[in-house]
Amino acid sequence: MERYGNGRTADLDGQDGRDGRAGGGGRCGPGGPAAGAEEGGRRGPGTGGARPAAPAPARAARSGPAPGGAAPGAAAPAPGRAGAAAPAPGPARPGARRAYIGSFTSAGGRGVTAADVDARTGALTPTGSTGAVADPSFLALRPDAAVLYAVSETDDGAVAAFDVTGPAPRLIGAPEPVRGSAPTHLAYTAGHVVAAHYGSGAVSAQPVRPDGAPGPVTGLVRHRGGGPDPDRQAAPHAHQVRPAPDGRFLLTVDLGTDSVRVCALDAGTGALTVRAETALRPGSGPRHLAFHPSGGHAYVLGELAPTLTVCRWDGRAGTLEPVAEVPVRPAGAAGPGYPSALAVSPDGRFVWAAVRGDDTIAVLELDEGGERPRLVAAVPSGGRWPRDLAADPEGRRLYVANERSGDVTWFDVDPETGVPSRTGAVAAPAASCVVLA
């Protein structure tokens, strides 16, 4: 287990309300469903680039579980549209668990798909889809599960809201621009949706109207810097934004700058302010972050270096301190591997990470303190190019969105070992993410 540096306080350079577009958005990670199809501006390694071993990108313009609760004392959202009715809380079928699948419409995906979850078997049964928004690569639910938000991962990126109280998602109003390119992740917190823009290296905040639709951008932070990988780190690439467990801060993970920034959101004005920045190992290319259930630790998944970085999180001060790093691929694994997403079990005993290239789910066992993960298994994802995964609230099942094979697979989890066993699958062309209600 490698131990290295501490976090550092950020200079607050690069936070303002100006347009964060940096030009040339495009899809953000290695490869899409059709190997060998080139795509301009994509942010992953491709067949024509300097990394010939990496699988080729496919989509033309693209590219955990992350809704946070409203902060105490949050101000009321901006006024809504005249005559707009707020969706009624709750799923379409009372008592039924729901799942939502995002997919790349530019690669033949259906957009946003709703599905019922069988309580006994975990099986997904799709109930309706909508292609109303291009390339909805990541989804996030409002806490009442009545509204689903999606980022449109395009050059002129946007956030869209869907009423999900019926069998099929229904677009609310019109998508609202994020003032940046290729947004890849979003979350709901304190009456706002916040989005990470991979293409323009920024993070935005937008107030939510009474009908659930997002309003115009009120806060924008543009990242600065780069990393040692000239193909993937020539500029900032914000890949994820996640609210801290208590909702006081937002953590933004930047693959291009090998760092995690801590931001504060003013719930009254919608302004974003950078409070601190933590440097991770150069070239690690951090992609996603998840918190331990205790709230005292965060785990950062590297895409460029397939590792899991353990960090101590001080929720009062808003600081992140890296303390250890472990691999998420077995020793001797052949070929390149690109970790994509992670989840922590509700009991804090296991971390699961999806690894593209290997097409596996890495299982890491945590010690009692949560600081010493140990890789114990790497299980096939049941498909090709696992881009996202989600655990159910009980930690009994995992769901994996396999982009290139075009399906979502599900697994029963052994409660003693944390090792998942595949039990089913459903077709989901160009699947990009899966979230559970």
Domain annotation covers residue 60: no
In angstroms, rounded to a whole number, what is the distance separating the alpha carbons of residues 18 and 67? 26
Domain annotation covers residue 367? yes
Specify if 49 maps to a domain.
Answer: no
Split at pLDDT 50, 70, 90, the class of 87 is: confident
CATH number of domain containing 422: 2.130.10.10
Three-state secondary structure call for residue 387:
strand
In the chain, the amino acid numbered 383 is G
Phi first, then psi: what are they for 106, rounded to 5°?
-70, -10
First to last CA, the chain: 36
**How many C-beta atoms lie closer than 10 Å to residue 10's C-beta?**
19
Q: Is the Cβ–Cβ distance between 422 and 407 less than 8 Å?
A: no
Q: pTM for this one?
A: 0.83
Let me know if 288 is exposed, middle or buried by CB neighbors in 10 A (0-12, 13-18, 19+).
buried
**90 in a structural domain:** no
Question: In this predicted structure, what is the pLDDT of residue 48?
Answer: 31
pLDDT tens digit sequence for 232-271: 999 999 999 999 999 999 999 999 999 999 999 999 999 9
Residue 143 token pair: 């806490």
Task: Note whether residue 350 is domain-resident.
Answer: yes
Per-residue pLDDT of 277-295, as tens digits, reads: 999 999 999 999 999 999 9
Q: Is residue 240 part of a domain?
A: yes
Whether residue 30 is contained in a domain is answered as no
Please give the residue range of the domain that contains residue 130. Answer: 98-436
Please write the tens of the pLDDT for every residue from 172-199: 999 999 999 999 999 999 999 999 999 9
Query: What's the pLDDT tens digit per position in 104-146?
Result: 999 999 999 999 999 999 999 999 999 999 999 999 999 999 9
5 part of a folded domain? no
Q: Can you tell me the distance from the alpha carbon of 60 to that of 239, in angstroms, rounded to the nearest whole number?
A: 19
Residue-level pLDDT at 28 = 58
C-alpha Rg value of the chain to the nearest Å: 19
How many structural domains does the chain have?
A: 1
Note the pLDDT of residue 89: 61
